[in-house]
Structure 1
Amino acid sequence: MSPIMLRQFWSLVEMTRASIPLTMDDPSLAQWLLRRVRSERSLNNVEADILTDYIRSRLPLIRDLAQDQAC
């Protein structure tokens, strides 16, 4: 994954963390985040697969960030 895509993803997480739906299960939340990225940037299938794997590996951190925002 490119550094630009990583920066864009984490920027999106930071900007939307107050609205991240924490009640979703992990696969649904990963798809929700992927849809948000796709709404801002065009991704081919390979990029989408790589980003999905990355999101899934970072879901605990993303949930923690969103919960901190909610508190």
Structure 2
Amino acid sequence: MTPLMLRQLWSLIETTQSGILLTLDDTALVQWLLRQVKAERSLDHDETDVLANYIQSKLSLIRDIAQERGVRC
């Protein structure tokens, strides 16, 4: 995974409404984030798999960030 792809993903997470990140189940959230990234850049099969696995491994952190942001609003 490239640094650019990581920045793009975390930027997306930071700008996405907390409600979306908190209400989708794990599978739906991974797929939603993948679709959003793919809308901005082309990903081959291997990149998609790596990104999906990375997102899956960070779901708790993603939800923690979204929940914290929701509390501050």
* TM-score, with structure 1 as normaliser: 0.89
RMSD across aligned C-alpha pairs, in angstroms? 1.3
Task: Count how many residue pairs are aligned between Structure 1 and Structure 2.
Answer: 71
1:18/1:70 contact within 8 Å kept: yes
The residue correspondences of 1:1-71 to structure 2 (distance < 5 A) are 1-71=1-71
Aligned 8 A contact 1:21 1:29 in 2? yes
User: Please, what TM-score do these two structures have when normalized by structure 2?
Assistant: 0.86
Determine the C-alpha separation between the residues in 2 that align with 1:23 and 1:8: 22
Contact between 2:34 and 2:48, CA under 8 Å: does it hold in 1? Answer: yes
Contact 1:34 1:51 in 2 (8 A): yes
Distance in 1 of aligned mates of 2:17 and 2:56: 16
CA distance in structure 2 between the aligned counterparts of 1:10 and 1:21, rounded to whole angstroms? 12
- 1:59 deviation in Å? 0.3
Give yes or no for contact 2:21–2:63 (8 Å, CA) kept in 1.
Answer: no
Rounded to whole Å, the distance in 2 between the matches of 1:60 and 1:39 is: 24
For 1:60 and 1:5, how far apart are their aligned partners in 2?
20
